[in-house]
Structure 1
Amino acid sequence: MSGRIPVTVLSGYLGAGKTTILNRVLAGAGDQRLAVLVNDFGPINIDAALVRQRGRDVMELSNGCVCCTIGDDLGETLSAIAARPAPPDRVLIEASGVAEPARIAMSAGHWPGFELDAVLVAADAETIRRRAADKFVGQLVRNQLDRADIVLLTKTDLCAPDAVRATEAWLHARKKGARVARIVQGRVPASLLFTGGIPAPGGAGPAPPRVQPGFTTRIWHPGRPVDLARLEAAFASLPESVHRAKGFVIDAATGSAALIQCVGRRVKVTPATEGAPGVVFIAFGDPAPLEAFCAGLDAALVPSAV
Structure 2
Amino acid sequence: MNAHIPTTLLSGYLGAGKTTLINRILEAEHGLQVAVLVNDFGAINIDARFIKNASDQTISLTNGCVCCSIADDLGAALDQQTARDNPPDHIVIEASGVAEPARIANYASGWPGLQLNSLITLIDAETVQERARDKFVGRVVTRQIEAADLLIVNKLDLINCAQLRRLEEWLHPLASEITVLKTIHAAVEPRLLLGVAPVHASAHQLNGTEEAHGLKAISWEPNGPINLGRLKSAIQFMPPSIHRLKGMVIDDVTGIAYSVQVVARRREFSKVEMGEPDLVGATAGNGQIVAIGVDNADLAELRHTLNASIAANLSVP
Q: Would you say how many aligned residue pairs link Structure 1 and Structure 2?
A: 304
Partner letter of residue 33 of structure 2? R
Q: Give unmatched runs, 5+ long, in structure 1.
A: none
Among candidates 289, 292, 296, match of residue 279 of structure 1: 289
1:57 aligns with 2:66: no
1:109: Cα distance to partner? 2.0
1:121: Cα distance to partner? 0.7
Q: Is the 8 A contact 1:204 1:221 kept in 2?
A: no
- What is the SS of the residue equivalent to 1:145? helix
User: What do residues 251-271 of structure 1 show as CA deviations (whole Å, max 9, x unaligned)?
Assistant: 232345432221221111233
User: What do residues 226-278 of structure 1 show as CA deviations (whole Å, max 9, x unaligned)?
Assistant: 32112212222122222210123332323454322212211112334435444
Of 152-161 and 239-248, deviating more is 152-161
1:183 aligns with 2:192: no
Instruction: Look up the match of 2:26.
Output: 26
Distance in 2, matches of 1:17 and 1:275, equals: 41
1:242 aligns with 2:242: yes
Q: Is the 8 A contact 1:234 1:297 kept in 2?
A: yes
**What TM-score do you get using the length of structure 2 for normalisation?**
0.83
Instruction: Look up the match of 1:102.
Output: 102
Partner letter of residue 283 of structure 1? G
**Measured at CA, do residues 242 and 165 of structure 1 come closer, stay the same or move farther in structure 2, by a change above 3 Å?**
farther
Distance in 2, matches of 1:56 and 1:277, equals: 42
**What TM-score do you get using the length of structure 1 for normalisation?**
0.86
Taking only the aligned residue pairs, the percentage that are identical comes to 42
Q: Give unmatched runs, 5+ long, in structure 2.
A: 273-282
User: What do residues 77-119 of structure 1 show as CA deviations (whole Å, max 9, x unaligned)?
Assistant: 1112222343222111122111121122222222111121111
Instruction: Look up the match of 2:160.
Output: 160
- What is the SS of the residue equivalent to 1:148? coil
User: What do residues 24-60 of structure 1 show as CA deviations (whole Å, max 9, x unaligned)?
Assistant: 1111155532211111212222323333333222222
- What is the SS of the residue equivalent to 1:26? helix
Partner letter of residue 210 of structure 1? E
Aligned-residue Cα RMSD (Å) equals 2.8
**Measured at CA, do residues 114 and 164 of structure 1 come closer, stay the same or move farther in structure 2, by a change above 3 Å?**
same
Distance in 2, matches of 1:178 and 1:301, equals: 29
Instruction: Look up the match of 1:251.
Output: 251
1:122: Cα distance to partner? 0.7
**Measured at CA, do residues 86 and 271 of structure 1 come closer, stay the same or move farther in structure 2, by a change above 3 Å?**
closer
Instruction: Look up the match of 1:114.
Output: 114
**Measured at CA, do residues 163 and 277 of structure 1 come closer, stay the same or move farther in structure 2, by a change above 3 Å?**
farther
**Measured at CA, do residues 246 and 19 of structure 1 come closer, stay the same or move farther in structure 2, by a change above 3 Å?**
same
